[in-house]
Structure 1
Amino acid sequence: KSVLAGPAGNGALGQLNGSVVDPVSGTTLWDHNASAAVTPASTTKVLTTAAALLAMDPNTRLSTKIVQGADPGTVILVGGGDVTLTALPLGTESPLYPGAAHVDDLVAQVKKANPNVKKVQVDLSLFKGATTAPGWAAGDAPSTFATQIGSVMADAGRQDPKNNNSQRVPNAGSALASTIASKLSASGGGQATAPKDAKVLAEVKSAPLTELVSDTMELSDDVLAEALARQVALATGQEATFAGGAAATIKVLKDHGFDTTGVKLSDGSGISTDNKIPAKLLTQLMAAAAAPEGKNPNTAELRAMLAGLPVAGGSGTLADKRFETPASQAGRGWVRAKTGTLTGVNTLAGLVLDQDGRVLVFAFMSNGSDQQPGRDAIDALATSLRKCGCS
């Protein structure tokens, strides 16, 4: 409390809510309105990825198929929810999605199975409902961070597969079908629903779920987070919509003993300004992920959530213009956390090793703050935890 008192009083933080927990003992060390649900921005992804790990097999790989259509010259691209499929040439690893399947692999398989393709259709029926969520602004899809959500696309819709901040293409599933059609010297045939017993001509699979979770956390990947939320919905018998993913995420967390009181979700990524999450839940999830083996029944599943957490000053969304001020430089390399940024919102949830070598988990949520001053202040807050202990 004494270590946080000064940094937590920084006016740049606006309205601050937060919590710090010792994951070994489970003791709450600091609570600042931690039960009040506030706008989380991208720390929403902590809930989405946790629910995915709790509801699904960690080795789950998402499948993309091309099947035979109604007539011999027609094939159908069938979306299985993998948005990480890459348009990079075979032999070129995606820098954003290591282990991603390749569009060219699908094309090569089709050429072998059916050399006379004339038309390529796309089946986007796995995901239902609206392609943008309540609380999204008109300019959010397409943008440099999101596009309309669909059950198949290349590189999560990025125009440049190697640039995380690349502008996204609109209606990326249909765009991918057109790309495949051109590679097969065929024409695009619009949307269709593949017959259930259709002959599979080609199939590729994503990296395992644990890798998809890491990518989601490190890149703060909005499109991938939404795809995972829909997989949670499908795994629990809900409809694969924004609402279905949100309801499934909350139910899975509640069923595994987490306190979801006050949680309101409109999406799985945190783009929506309608989302509300208490800091207490973020620290509960982080504490379960960081707990010693055997202490918490959810630890084995949630441990994978920590692997992709950005490292302060080193990786992901904490690599650029973060932990650079005199008040936060000492946190570089020691703080690992999921970021969240919207207009007026700065959040950070993760863990830090204090001077005694003890792990502390935290969630700090600043609403009503300006972006850069708010970020610097929240980074300083996390860094102050590094100074805890007796050393």
Structure 2
Amino acid sequence: MKTEALTVELADRSYPIHFSESLVSLKQCVRSLREAGRAVRVISDARVLDAQPDYLSQAGFKREEILSLPAGEPTKSIQYFDECLRFLASQAVNRDGALFAFGGGVIGDLTGFVAASYLRGIDFYQIPSTLLSMVDSSVGGKTGINLPEGKNLVGAFWQPKGVFIDVNLLKSLPKREFAAGMAEVIKTGMLADASLFEKLESLDGLQPESAELPDIIRRCCAIKASVVAADEKETAGSGGRALLNLGHTFAHAIENVAGYGDYLHGEAVGIGLHLATRLSTALGCIADKDVERVVRVCKTYRLPTVLESELPIGQLMAAMQRDKKNRAGKLRFVTMDAIGTAVTREDVDSELVRAIWKEAGAL
């Protein structure tokens, strides 16, 4: 694996993603901030802190600088957004303070939005502890929280100052969480890198200790960094950053209707990838055999491809209407012209979408 940092190229807001000896780099970062007289604070969740009790202290953080929150998707809410803001305000953290996110996608998204909002914006850093956050959510500056009406409906684009990826953190990650992260790895291959997808097909699964994993994580980060650099705030008329949402229009609807927490985000994405592939075949864009390939890969990495219980199609369609990718009242999907080549489209008939939901077990 390459050891040098990867840079997310955003002109004066460019930042490094550290892969090798990331704990050493993190420790140096914290020391430099302290030497400059800047306050440092951390937002994490109880599960990560229990699994990695010494990590933050090794990096140079003090216990009183850490806010511990409950684990799980419900924490990505207005309630805990408020708690985080008050944590910073009660300790009189100034505009030169720096906030660190230590956890998975929930903590990273929440912390980033807190940093974007507190005192109209303070610096923040990502220390992703899950596979999903390492390959996807920690990179790119999308921050936010959920509402009962839908996922990520409130938030801001706020880029981190740095990302510290330590694959050793994955050794304490529950198997279900690791599998959920693989959904974003598979998604990356499907939308932008056929060779990555083929690599995943060739393996008999992955584990935190797998020799192939560091290079796969780096490749996913490189692809996302490139997409973000070209379309940071998802303003492209077609394609662009929206392509990173392959499978997510279906996935977010599942999470919303099932209730946040019933499915891990990556589990819903696994189903969404299957359905996005079915939609692509129904539109005549790719071959039927590609559906079999996607299903096979998802199952290899222990991801669901159909609903575990029946969900009402009407509610799923209504949730899709609230998807933030939509334009001019039209549903906007990401489909594929080939494995490794994704496109956005707005000309999908709603009855076709309903039929695909039925194939997934909706009623």
Highest Rg: 1 or 2? 1
Fold in common (TM above 0.5): no
**Which is richer in helix?**
2
Larger RCO: 1 or 2 (CA < 8 Å, sep 6+): 1
TM-score normalised according to structure 1 size: 0.29
